Structure formats: C-alpha cells, structure tokens
Structure 1
Amino acid sequence: MVVVVSPPENQTSIRFLALGDWGGVPYPPYITPVEKATAWEMGKIAEQMGADFVLALGDNFYYSGVNSADSPRFQDTFEHVYTADSLNIPWYILAGNHDHAGNVKAQIDYSRKSDRWRFPHYYYELNFRIPNTKRTLSIMMLDTVMLCGNSDDYDDEKPRGPLSTIEANRQLTWLQKRMAQSKADFLLVAGHYPVWSVSEHGPTECLLKRLRPLLVKHKATAYFCGHDHNLQYLKESGVGYVVSGAGNFLDPDTRHWHHVPKDTLKFFTGQASTLGGFVHGEVTKHKMTLTFIQAKGTSLYRTVLPRRDIDIDQNGSDDKD
C-alpha cells in the first residue's frame, strides 16, 4: 500500500518525531512515568521545532497488544496521554512483537475511529514532497515480526523465523520492488526490530541477512526501529541506524557492545535519569537532521545525513531544482 502525503505549503522542510516501545501497561493507570514524561516533552518539541507527523515504531500496547478496535487501551495509553495540540498530527503506526501477541488487525481497524491513528496495512509506503522544493521523502513501514518471527516465543528473545514464510516473502518482495523503483531524495525504512543494536536484543540476524543488503544496495538514508528500550545511533556502510525505543521503559544494557562493526556506534543512552526519549527529524532540500532528545528536556546528540546520491534523470544529473 502506498500513501501520498502533502505537508503544509508554508514551510520548506518536513519535520517528524520517531518514538518506539511507548505502549503503557495493561493495568491502572495504563501508562508509565517514562511514557508520561516523554509524551510531555514530545508536545513541547513538536511545538518548538515543528512536527508534521509521528513515526510510531511498535510495541504500541504492552504486554499483549489489544484484541479489539474498541479496546479502552486506545484511550488510556494513547489518546489521553499524547494530548498536546502539537501532537494532534498523523501518527503512522507499525506493529511490534507485543502487538502481535494480540490482534494487529484491531490496531489497523482503529484507523477508522481516530483522526490521527494511521495504520493502513501491516506494511506500507509513505511518500512526501518537501514543500517548495522538488525533493521527495519516502518511508517504507515494515512488519519485522511478520518478516522474522516473534521474539517473545523464545527464552533468548531471538526470532527464529516467520509464522508464514509466504507472507514474509510477499513483504520482502514488495520491499525489494519499491526500494528498487524509488527515486526519492531521502529514503527511510522503519521496522520494530533493530538491524544493529548494542543493547539487550542486539543485532537481528534475520534483518542482517534479509534487510541490510537492500538498505546498502538501494542507498537508504536511514533505518528506524525500537525494540531495545534506549536511544542509539549507528552509521554503517553509508546507512544511518536509529534505535528509538525509550518511549515507555529505559534499559542501559550494552551486552552487545562488541557485536556491531567497530566504530559504527556513534551515540547511546538508556539511563533512567533521562526519563525517556525520542528522535526529532527534519528533512530539507539537501539534508536530514536527526536530534536525539531526552524527556527531561535537552537534546543529547545530533547528526546530519545527506540526500541520496542516485542518478535521478537521464542526463546524468540529479540536481532537480
């Protein structure tokens, strides 16, 4: 499924927030202190720095998703928490392992009940034009649980393979085709499981094998994920890897520190003192700036990624405006 989005014409960039693992708890008050603090700071940052949409990177409802589009958890853990006017923007959703413990279709169906909850399919593509330029941004939203299997099925929390090989291959074929065809100036891919991570779950073997080659081959700008409950930034083979899983819990675990390529880790924090965190992205004509923000109100790290170096038109020139 492909969704074309038109941001406001009175700006020259696209701004967004990326938040993972934000799904509260299944008992009163249905939220955690980290979720509350992070939601508050997101509202402030969206107002100050601007935000056109939120990328919600899975584990939307702890601990076992929801079973119905009428579940009170949509109100208790989402609508009543992210209440700032500046967060009344589209939330583009994908599913995590905890969501798959419930009924993901119920989350997709909730899109019809909420003005801001946008979850059209298990995996889908978002296309934006950067206002007042000819530049474009594409985001491929994936279901990595459908692709790799559910990590919660095993003691070591490593997915062992998809529930349906047919569905996994169908998604991968779709992704290969869409990435190969993409002429976007900025190409992002988002899923729940990390490709690279130094924390508890570490790198996801299935994604290293099936997704990483596509990210490198098609010159993806960045891959966004959650799953590990902290903030990380890694740069490997020209691709930026963003872990933003600090929306509800925090984990300073770095047991996989030596399981990522040398010198690729640029930033890590999972300290309880940050109170939570998320990432702010801004895409302009020439670059994407990512700012890692802690819930207690300061930016922790910033990095800039260039526009894709691809041959756009037949004259060998990619300068489109």
Structure 2
Amino acid sequence: MILSNLAMACLSYERTRASRLHLVLVVLLYCISSEISSSFAELQRFEHAPKDDGSIRFLVVGDWGRRGFYNQSKVAWQMGRIGEKLDIDFVISTGDNFYGDGLKGVNDLAFLDSFKNIYTAKSLQKQWYSVLGNHDYRGNTEAQLSPALRKIDSRWLCLRSFIVNAAEIAEFFFVDTTPFATKYITDKKHQYDWSGVSPHGAYITNLLKDLNVALRKSSAKWKIVIGHHTIRSAGHHGETQELVRHLLPILKAHNVDMYINGHDHCLQHISSLNSPIQYFTSGAGSKAWRGDIKEYNSEAMKFFHDGQGFMSVNLTRSDALIVFYDVLGRILHTWKLNKQLHSAF
C-alpha cells in the first residue's frame, strides 16, 4: 500500500512537472511571438491640425539628397519661395533622401549637407514627413529612422510606414515600398540593410493587413497614400509590378484619391481610368533628365516633365488643387479635383 501511494505520488509529481514545463514553454513561445510581431506593429499615428479655414497645404519632393548638387539647392530655393506664398503646413518626402547609399549613422554629415543646410527657407521650417527609398536601404536604415536625428533637426520624421491624420479633412498613409521589390533582395551588386523587415513575407503581409484595416476605418474626406516606388509610370523605372499586384487592389478597394511617389526622377501625373486614383510622381528633387520615357496610354497620361522640380497640394473638404513646378519655379501643370465628382466612380 505504501509503495502504491509512493508510486502515485511520483506520478503526480511528474505530471505537475510536465505541466509546469509545458507552461514555461507556452510563455516562452508567447514572448518570442510577441517579440516578432512587435516589429510588425499597427501603423503609428500622428496628428497634424489643418488651418483655421479647414485647408491643408503642403509640398512634395523626392530623390533629393545630393549635398546641393544636380540643382538640389535651386529646387530647394524655389520650394522656399512657393512654400511661403502658399503658407504650407508641412513637406512630404517620397524617399531616396540620401544618395548614394543612405546614411552611415546618426552622425553622418550627409544629414546636414543634404537636408538641414539645404532646405533653410523660413517656410520650410515645418514638419517633414518622409519615407525610405531603395537608396536609403543601402545605408544604415535604423539611423535614418532614429529619434536622434530629430534632436539635430526637429523637422525630420522618417518611419517605415505610418499615418498622419489631419482632422477629418485628410489622412495620409505612408508605406514602406522597398521590401516589396524582389530585385533588391536578389541584387548582388549592392548591400541592403534588411534589419527590421525580415522575414520579408511576414513583414509585407502584416503591413498590407494594417494598411487595409486603417483605410477601411478612415472617415477622412481625402485618402492619400505615399510610397517611394511607382505604381503607374512612363519613366525610367516604369511600373513596380509587386505594388500593382499587392498594394493597388487595396487602394482601389478603399477608394483612395491619390498615390504619390518618387523613384522615377521626373514629374508626372497619370489618371486611373477605372477608379478615383490619381498617380502623382514627384521624384525630381535633384538629378533628373533620364530621357528614356516609355509610351503610355494617352488618355491616362495627363502630364510628364523629364526635369527637376516639385509639387504642391492644397486641400479643402471639397476640393484639391495640385500644381507642378520646375527648377525655376514656373508652373508646369495644374490639376483640380472636386471631391463629389471625384468620388463618382
């Protein structure tokens, strides 16, 4: 009897031990999965109040970081002049912020030489919302995303993907597009810093999921998505097929009004023929003039400029005014959208 009780006690102990071990394993797996999922967290949100009259005005420039060369300084000067005239609220950068291989670290002088000491106009001392481009991924991406840069220049805000909400007037969805393009993953000529975005499949899946949810919940009058890479383009790089396959269906499903990008070093406007989306390329902040323009549907193509410049956007609850400027500040193209008419697709 005593032996029987002892056996039962031992069996009970082993079961308890196994149960505790199972519990420890569950906790460890949860911690590991939480750590993994934390790098794919829900899109961070920022608030940017519109003007008292309910309008929002901003400039868009991309592919600019060349220490003032290739007319970057001239484009910056015109941005300052137009920015003052429009009384802009902020500036959007569409990526490739620092050539040729991003930043080496938070103390890289390229941040001063290509940004802080170039965009010096009073009107440009506003918040800059920036995404990463493929050239930025060739450097230390964490440095470009670091809050340490904001201590050097408080204007700078660059994250992989995030949302800027301007009351109920507009919501801006910034999307990290470089990890979508498989050619960078297989590129043997350049090194890319994939820390924070691996494994790619899980990163992209979670990003698209978060974007889909955010767009579905948005009640803003204007929904604007910003990424570095093109979806529609007649420029040198052409269309990014991975974005056409994976990102574009989400934009169409939620009646996004504008997709704004850089990557192609030009200024460009293409209208979707089967949705409200207007595709705007502003990637002419410095080096441009590639000269290899592809043929494009003449009905969809509204404007193309193979040269340097930038664009401005003026939003109200009912209307949007988009203007493209060249390196001399001359108006090249103007497009007006009425929200009621624009939504009638």
TM-score exceeds 0.5 = yes
Contact 1:193 1:227 in 2 (8 A): yes
Contact 2:54 2:169 in 1 (8 A): no
Unaligned runs of 5+ in 2: 1-43, 191-197
Contact 2:163 2:172 in 1 (8 A): yes
Report the Cα distance in structure 2 between the residues aligned to 1:171 and 1:154, rounded to whole angstroms: 23
Partner of 1:270: 306
CA RMSD of aligned residues (A): 2.4
CA shift, 1:179, in A, is 0.9
- Of 1, 14, 34, the match for 2:56: 14
Query: Structure 2 length as normaliser, TM-score?
Result: 0.79
Report the Cα distance in structure 1 between the residues aligned to 2:257 and 2:321, rounded to whole angstroms: 11
CA shift, 1:287, in A, is 1.1
Partner of 1:116: 155
Contact 2:325 2:331 in 1 (8 A): yes
Does the alignment pair 1:212 with 2:245? no
Partner of 1:297: 329
CA shift, 1:87, in A, is 0.3
Partner of 1:3: 46
Query: Structure 1 length as normaliser, TM-score?
Result: 0.84
Higher helix share: 2
CA shift, 1:35, in A, is 0.5
User: Are the structure 2 counterparts of residues 65 and 156 from structure 1 closer, same or farther at C-alpha, using a change threshold of 3 Å?
Assistant: closer
Contact 2:64 2:286 in 1 (8 A): yes
Identity of aligned residues (%): 30
Contact 1:187 1:308 in 2 (8 A): no
Partner of 2:102: 65
CA shift, 1:217, in A, is 1.4
1:1-321 equivalences in 2 (<5 Å): 1-9=44-52, 11-24=53-66, 30-109=67-146, 110-119=149-158, 121-129=159-167, 135-149=168-182, 151=184, 154=187, 164-236=200-272, 237-258=275-296, 261-271=297-307, 276-307=308-339
Contact 2:318 2:340 in 1 (8 A): no
Report the Cα distance in structure 1 between the residues aligned to 2:140 and 2:300, rounded to whole angstroms: 36
The runs of at least 4 aligned residues of structure 1 exceeding 6 Å deviation read 308-311
Unaligned runs of 5+ in 1: 25-29, 130-134, 312-321
Report the Cα distance in structure 1 between the residues aligned to 2:333 and 2:342, rounded to whole angstroms: 28
User: Would you say how many aligned residue pairs link Structure 1 and Structure 2?
Assistant: 290
Contact 1:221 1:305 in 2 (8 A): no
Report the Cα distance in structure 1 between the residues aligned to 2:199 and 2:331, rounded to whole angstroms: 40
Report the Cα distance in structure 2 between the residues aligned to 1:153 and 1:86, rounded to whole angstroms: 42
Report the Cα distance in structure 1 between the residues aligned to 2:113 and 2:291, rounded to whole angstroms: 29
